[in-house]
Amino acid sequence: MISRALRRKTFSALAGCALALSLSLTTAHADPSKYPQFAQQSLPENVKPEFIGIEELVRQLKAGVKPVIVDVRTAEEFREAHILSAVSAPLAEFKNYLKSMPRDRLLVLY
């Protein structure tokens, strides 16, 4: 039997972790000042992006969709942290990577 004090400590630790996780999952916004060479570019007419949130991506993953997750940040930023199984394709070199991207799978860029 677990003592009341141990249960209270465990609950406090879990509550603290949940709070920290919820605070770290706030919506991040891109900072175009970091990438001025791309901030004013427009997409080709035949490219129609669909913007989805993390909740929609999770739903699709649970439904069996296997997207290619592409990290377009710099190689240095990718090395610091990235989504597990993401492919690094820095925005400055993205055109080179685009040729090798599969056409039959959803591409998720971040």
Share of the chain above pLDDT 90, in %: 24
3-state secondary structure of 38: helix
Choose the most confident range, by mean pLDDT, from 8-12, 15-19, 70-74, 95-99: 70-74
Report, as an integer, the average pLDDT of 47-59: 86
Provide the pLDDT for residue 63: 95
Provide the pLDDT for residue 62: 93
16-35, pLDDT tens digit by residue? 433 344 434 444 455 667 76
Domains located in the chain, CATH noted: 30-109 (3.40.250)
Which residue type occupies 50?
Answer: E
Mean pLDDT of the chain: 73
pTM for the whole structure: 0.59
The answer for residues whose C-beta is within 8 angstroms of residue 5's C-beta and 6 or more apart is none
Which residue type occupies 74?
Answer: T
Look at residue 12 and tell me whether its pLDDT is greater than 50: no
Provide the pLDDT for residue 98: 83
Which residue type occupies 46?
Answer: N
Residue 19: other Cβ atoms inside 10 A: 10
